[in-house]
């Protein structure tokens, strides 16, 4: 019986159409709806399921960022995580924070909490990096089961079915390990009102990266953020023949 | 000796620094055939401006090394053949890449942004204590790259001040390197002892005679509007007429109509074919992220308000069950 760390990230809600700031320094986040990164929800669900199946005894939800990320941790607690850790990062450090810094925090916490699994989403839908899980595994020197669509614990090993380009592959990795969740791993549950109320009583510990000995310096510099080129408006065609004729005319088919 | 010269010239003439760029491309392959995205990664590596080296690791490398030796722009091939590279597990490949890096001191390390590259490179990067740049779409200079964020709704230009630049390359953003005319030298490299913390068990690949999705010239994709897996046959018929690959939206995959590896979008595959035909797909942000760089987009949807029509060059508002068979028939003529 062991412990799982689950990483949850607060991101702009997936349904929001983002806007680039006029000064090209980033995207507008003030006053925009935020929620838990969809892949993190899947990671939380998987961790809670493993607990329900009695493979693990405790699920700890972790988020790095400003005060608002405690809401994201609360959501994870309402879904069934036992307690939370808020690693407080704000201002310039938060703006520059990337997967490398976050993975250092997770690696330090995994050791401190003596976790046997770290479960993360495969990517955050804001920076689209798809790196934190892999980096955390590297820093801990643990094996990684990325893009997992099925996870089975078998003693000290984890069997992971992974989504790869041509289909699926199955690997067996030894614990402790890092897993990253793909969309197909499970369907996250909704937090019920009683569980949301209960979650308010659960503990969220607060710490700083420095408490974990993590240096937040980043050597990546975002020079500018632009809107992607917009496509020219197209035309509506009336019939299939018309469509085929148009495609033939411009040499597409 | 070279290091000494390198260091001295750098001290005297900083402008020469660019001459000493060297990029390692991690080749993706299945022991028999080089995966096409590696050719796009080689092009991106050439744009960095230095010497390009390719690392081929696997249980059987001869054939692939031979293929790469003819690829234009590759100067050297490093071959590491060992049984521990079965399944190309990142736990085994990472120590090999680190050893190679120690020996040759590359300024850049890259791979295609496929499931393979995404799985491997961040692990390598963290071991080198440097950040990774994922899925770059443009090389501005040896240290400045462009990548998309927020499902392709913004482009970030990022300067990387790391000692080693580690990045994955969006295949559709770079032309594949020519597979003839090159003449790279091959060198064997020693494999570090196996890490043994992971084991590859099996693979179940989706078999298809159609072209591979990410490199197909024409892609026909279906969404929830197809209503069932059986109805996808309509798309397969149309695709076969056009020599096209078949893709799908997340809705179609989640509903079980088609396997996951056919998903096009932010979290699936990124495609940029000459022609993309979206059938019964509404055009959610996450789907557009995977196909909006297609040259020509055609949408067939009975809902005239569907967001897909905002990006479509040609839109046909019609029931797909009528339009698709008609189109297949029209192409037979």
DSSP string, B57-125: EES--HHHHHHHHTSTT--EEEEEE-GGGGGG-HHHHHHHHHHHHHHH--SEEEEESSHHHHHHHHHHH
What does DSSP assign to residue B300?
A: E
Q: How many CB atoms lie within 10 A of CB A237?
A: 20
- Of the candidates A27, A139, A167, which has its C-beta nearest B154's C-beta? A27
Give the count of alpha carbons within 13 A of A108, CB side only.
18
- β-pair partners for A20: A27
pLDDT above 90: percentage of residues in chain B: 92
Q: Give pLDDT, residue A252.
A: 86
Query: Residue B261: which of A165, A223, A236 has the nearest Cβ?
Result: A165
- Judged by CB atoms closer than 8 Å, whether chains meet at B148 and A159 is answered as no
Q: How far is CA A231 from CA A168, B294, B296, in A?
A: 35, 10, 10
What confidence score (pLDDT) does residue B31 get?
Answer: 86
Quick: pLDDT tens for A13-39: 999 999 999 999 999 999 999 999 999
The percent of residues above 70 in pLDDT, for chain B, comes to 94
pLDDT, position B19: 53
Fill in the DSSP letter of residue B50.
S
Look at A170 and B89 and tell me if their CB atoms are within 8 Å: no
- Residue A38 structure tokens: 């969809």
For B5, the token pair is 């010269």
pLDDT tens, position by position, B250-271: 999 999 999 999 999 999 999 9
Alpha-carbon distance A79 to A70, whole Å?
14
Q: Which two tokens stand for residue B264?
A: 């096009």
Whether B107 has a pLDDT exceeding 70, the answer reads: yes
Termini Cα distance of chain B = 68
Q: How many CA atoms are closer than 13 Å to the CA of B316, on its beta-carbon side? A: 26
Q: Do A100 and B159 touch (CB under 8 A)?
A: no
The position carrying tokens 């501005």 is B140
Distances (CA, A) of A13 to A29, A53, A67, A185, B250: 10, 31, 18, 20, 18
Taking a C-beta distance cutoff of 8 angstroms, is the pair A134, A142 a contact?
no
DSSP bridge pairs for B111: B168
Residue A238: what are its φ and ψ, rounded to 5°? -90, -40
In tens, the pLDDT along B110-154 reads 999 999 999 999 999 999 999 999 999 999 999 999 999 999 999
Instruction: Give the H/E segment covering residue A192.
Output: none
**Taking CB atoms and an 8 Å cut-off, how many pairs form between chains A and B?**
252
- H or E element in which residue A198 lies: helix A193-199
Q: Do B158 and A147 touch (CB under 8 A)?
A: no
For residue A241, pLDDT over 70 is answered with yes
- The Cα–Cα gap between B181 and B153 comes to 38
Task: Give the model's pLDDT for residue A1.
Answer: 59
Peptide bond before residue B223 is cis, with ω within 30 degrees of 0: no
The answer, as to whether pTM is greater than 0.80, is yes
Using DSSP, state whether B152 is helix, strand or coil. Answer: coil
pLDDT at B2 over 50: no
Average pLDDT over residues A131-147: 98
Contact flag B115-A142 (C-beta cutoff 8 Å): no
Torsion of CA B94, B99, B100, B101, to 10 degrees: 90
Q: Measure the CA–CA gap between B330 and B333, rounded to whole angstroms.
A: 6
Whether residue B8 is predicted with pLDDT greater than 90 in this model: the reply is: no
Structural Rg of chain B based on CA atoms: 22
Mean pLDDT for chain B overall: 94
Extract the tokens encoding B183. Answer: 């003449």
What is the tens place of the pLDDT at every residue in B62-97?
999 999 999 999 999 999 999 999 999 999 999 999
Average pLDDT of the residues in A86-107? 97
Phi, psi of A208 (to 5 degrees): -115, 155
C-beta atoms surrounding A13 within 10 Å: 14
Q: Virtual CA dihedral for B81, B86, B87, B89, nearest 10 degrees?
A: -70
Residues of B in contact with A27 (CB under 8 A): 149-150, 154
Q: Residue B14 pLDDT > 50, yes or no?
A: no
On the question of pLDDT at B280 being above 60, the answer is yes
CA distance A195 to A200: 9
Going by the annotation, the residues of the binding site of B are 224, 249-250, 263-267, 280-287, 301
Residue pair A209/A217 in contact (Cβ under 8 Å)? The answer is no
In this prediction, residue B11 has a pLDDT band, given cuts at 50, 70 and 90, of very low
Q: How far, rounded to the nearest angstrom, does the alpha carbon of residue B136 sit from its chain's CA centroid?
A: 10
Q: Where are the beta strands (DSSP E) in B180-313?
A: 185-188, 198-205, 218-222, 245-248, 275-279, 296-301
Distance of alpha carbon A20 from its chain centroid, rounded?
22
């Amino acid at each position: 019986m062991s412990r799982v760390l689950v990483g949850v990230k607060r991101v702009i809600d997936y349904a929001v159409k983002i806007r680039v700031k006029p000064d090209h320094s980033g995207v507008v986040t003030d006053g925009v709806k935020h929620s838990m990164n969809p892949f993190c929800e899947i990671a939380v669900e998987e961790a809670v399921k493993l607990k329900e199946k009695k493979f693990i005894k405790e699920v700890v939800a972790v988020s790095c960022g400003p005060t608002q990320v405690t809401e994201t941790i609360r959501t994870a607690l309402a879904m069934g995580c036992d307690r939370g850790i808020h690693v407080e990062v704000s201002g310039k450090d938060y703006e520059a924070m990337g997967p490398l810094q976050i993975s250092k925090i997770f690696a330090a916490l995994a050791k401190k909490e003596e976790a046997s699994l770290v479960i993360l989403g495969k990517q955050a839908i804001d920076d689209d990096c798809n790196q934190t899980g892999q980096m955390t595994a590297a820093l801990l020197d643990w094996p990684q089961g990325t893009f997992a669509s099925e996870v089975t614990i078998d003693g000290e090993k984890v069997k992971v079915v992974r989504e790869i380009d041509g289909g699926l592959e199955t690997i067996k990795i030894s614990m402790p390990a890092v897993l990253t969740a793909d969309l197909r791993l499970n369907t996250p549950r909704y937090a019920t009102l009683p569980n949301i109320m209960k979650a308010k009583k659960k503990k969220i510990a607060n710490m700083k990266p420095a408490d974990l000995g993590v240096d937040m310096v980043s050597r990546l510099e975002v020079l500018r953020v632009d809107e992607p080129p917009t496509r020219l408006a197209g035309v509506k065609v009336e019939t299939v023949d018309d469509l085929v004729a148009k495609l033939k005319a411009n040499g597409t088919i | 000796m070279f290091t000494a010269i390198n260091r001295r010239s750098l001290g005297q003439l900083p402008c020469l620094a660019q001459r000493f760029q060297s990029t390692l491309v991690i080749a993706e392959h299945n022991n028999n055939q080089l995966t096409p995205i590696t050719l796009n990664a080689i092009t991106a590596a050439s744009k960095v401006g230095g010497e390009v080296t390719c690392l081929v690791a696997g249980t059987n490398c001869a054939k692939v090394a031979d293929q790469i030796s003819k690829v234009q722009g590759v100067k050297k091939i490093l071959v590491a053949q060992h049984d521990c590279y079965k399944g190309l597990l990142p736990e085994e490949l990472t120590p090999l890449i680190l050893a190679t890096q120690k020996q040759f001191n590359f300024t850049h390390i890259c791979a295609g942004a496929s499931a393979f590259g995404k799985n491997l490179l961040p692990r390598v990067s963290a071991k080198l204590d440097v950040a990774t740049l994922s899925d770059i779409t443009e090389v501005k200079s040896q240290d400045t790259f462009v990548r998309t964020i927020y499902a392709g709704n913004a482009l970030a230009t990022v300067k990387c001040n790391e000692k080693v630049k580690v990045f994955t390359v969006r295949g559709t953003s770079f032309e594949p390197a020519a597979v003839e005319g090159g003449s790279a030298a091959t060198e064997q490299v020693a494999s570090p002892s196996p890490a043994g913390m992971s084991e590859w068990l099996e693979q179940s690949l989706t078999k298809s005679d159609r072209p591979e999705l990410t490199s197909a010239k024409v892609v026909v994709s279906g969404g929830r509007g197809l209503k069932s897996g059986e109805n996808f046959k309509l798309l397969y018929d149309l695709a076969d007429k056009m020599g096209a690959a078949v893709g799908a939206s997340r809705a179609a995959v989640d509903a079980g109509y088609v396997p996951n590896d056919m998903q096009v979008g932010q979290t699936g595959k990124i495609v940029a074919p000459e022609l993309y035909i979206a059938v019964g797909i509404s055009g959610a942000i996450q789907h557009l992220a995977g196909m909006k760089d297609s040259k020509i987009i055609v949408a067939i949807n009975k809902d005239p308000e569907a967001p897909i029509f905002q990006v479509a060059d040609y839109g046909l508002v019609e029931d797909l069950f009528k339009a698709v068979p008609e189109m297949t028939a029209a192409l037979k003529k």
